[in-house]
Structure 1
Amino acid sequence: MLVYSKYADDILLDLLKKDDQLAYTEIFERYCKLLVNHAYKMLGNPDEANDVVQEVFLSIWNKRYELTITGSLSSYLYKATKNRILNHIAHEKVVSNYAESISNFIENDYVLADSQLREEELEAIIAKEIELLPAKMREVFLLRKVEDLSYEEIALQLNITDKTAKQQVYNSLKILREKLKNFVGVFVW
């Protein structure tokens, strides 16, 4: 290994192209720490910096037969590291945007869908409980709360007093509140 440490970069590259693993090891030993420090300055994360540099060296090994470097090896390695960092940052941005869109969906759309589902379930329960009211009481209740008729209009239509209409609505609300108190903490009509 001592002999390889004395070789210039261009000689190491020629040996690397001839499948010389010791030449590759020397290139790695010569530049790894420098490249990791460079990557760390750009990424701010030592694990990510190490990963990026490992990817650069893996790429060099995998492409060793067709590797063409114009200029110095150190310039090539710094540029390759910089490109990997930029790809990493772009990938992280895509992942971050995706995570943000998922988070927005969960916070907004999912909650809205869940809220709509609960509302529909509650409406079905209320409709069922209204159907269970005594017939005359149900009729008065629906005319007041669904048809939005006044007590006087209900009294005229059903040939009852407006006081009876008010009492029927009051009684129906009392029954419904009692039956629905397990479903809703405060139930306001």
Structure 2
Amino acid sequence: MPQYALYTDEELVCFISADDDAAFTELYNRYAGALYLHACKRLADRDSAKDLIHNVFASLWSSRHTIELEGKCSAYLYTALRYQVINFEVRSKRLSLWQEMVDELDTRPEQPTPDQMTIANDLEQLIKAEAERLPKKMREIFLMSRQQQLSHQEIAEAFELSPATVKTQINNALKVLRLKFNHFLAIFILLGLY
């Protein structure tokens, strides 16, 4: 069995391109910790930093047959992480804007028009339908949070989970729903319905 610790990064990438998962594990072990610390400097959420590191290495593995590194492997990994962080920040800003718009709707004193009510009801039905497609545990946690207005701690106690796990499940559900409804939200904004 090869001693992967003795190989250079570039040699490991060659092994990885030949589907050598042990070489992939060695490369992961070399860089995951440092990449995680680097991501934590940019992001306040450690769980999201872990997710981004996972995405970097999942992308490396999925493109292993076509990847052509120009320069050092570490530079490739840090660049991939930088793009993951940027994309995460953009998505987070969009979510914040979306949440602000939703919150603003909740505080508007004027009565909505019948068209706005119809669209809001349709949107609510679409969200419910998409929420039903979430994995069972994620769906239950999400609905307890949104419909029953339970705190992360209360949900964690009900499922015997940690509050951090509950938060992650809710964030993951919101990510899925956000991806489904970004286009609808843009249309509503353009039509002046939100």
**TM-score, reference length from structure 2:** 0.56
Quick check: 1:113 aligned with 2:111?
Answer: yes
Question: Which residue is equivalent to 1:40?
Answer: 40
Distance 2:43 2:2 in 1: 34
Question: Which residue is equivalent to 2:162?
Answer: none
Distance 1:15 1:76 in 2: 17
What is the root-mean-square deviation in Å for CA atoms of aligned residues? 1.8
Question: Which residue is equivalent to 2:75?
Answer: 75
Quick check: 1:102 aligned with 2:102?
Answer: yes
Runs of 4 or more above 4 Å deviation = none
Q: Deviations over 1:113-150 (max 9, x none)?
A: 17x9xxxxxxxxxxxxxxxxxxxxxxxxxxxxxxxxxx
Question: Which residue is equivalent to 1:30?
Answer: 30
Equivalent residue letter for 2:13? L
**TM-score, reference length from structure 1:** 0.57
Distance 1:94 1:41 in 2: 21
Distance 1:32 1:79 in 2: 14
Instruction: Please say which structure displays the higher CA radius of gyration.
Output: 1
Question: Which residue is equivalent to 1:168?
Answer: none
Distance 1:98 1:44 in 2: 20
Distance 2:103 2:48 in 1: 24
Question: Which residue is equivalent to 1:184?
Answer: none
Q: CA deviation at 1:46?
A: 1.0
Q: CA deviation at 1:76?
A: 0.6
Q: Deviations over 1:82-135 (max 9, x none)?
A: 110000000000111111111111111xx4217x9xxxxxxxxxxxxxxxxxxx
Distance 2:33 2:44 in 1: 15
Q: Identity over aligned residues, as a percent?
A: 31
Q: Which runs of 5+ in 2 are unaligned?
A: 114-194
Distance 2:58 2:89 in 1: 19
Equivalent residue letter for 1:65? H
Q: CA deviation at 1:2?
A: 6.8
Distance 1:60 1:66 in 2: 10
Question: Which residue is equivalent to 2:15?
Answer: 15
Question: Which residue is equivalent to 1:57?
Answer: 57
Distance 1:81 1:38 in 2: 9
Q: Which runs of 5+ in 1 are unaligned?
A: 117-189
- What is the count of residue pairs matched by the alignment? 114
Distance 1:69 1:99 in 2: 40
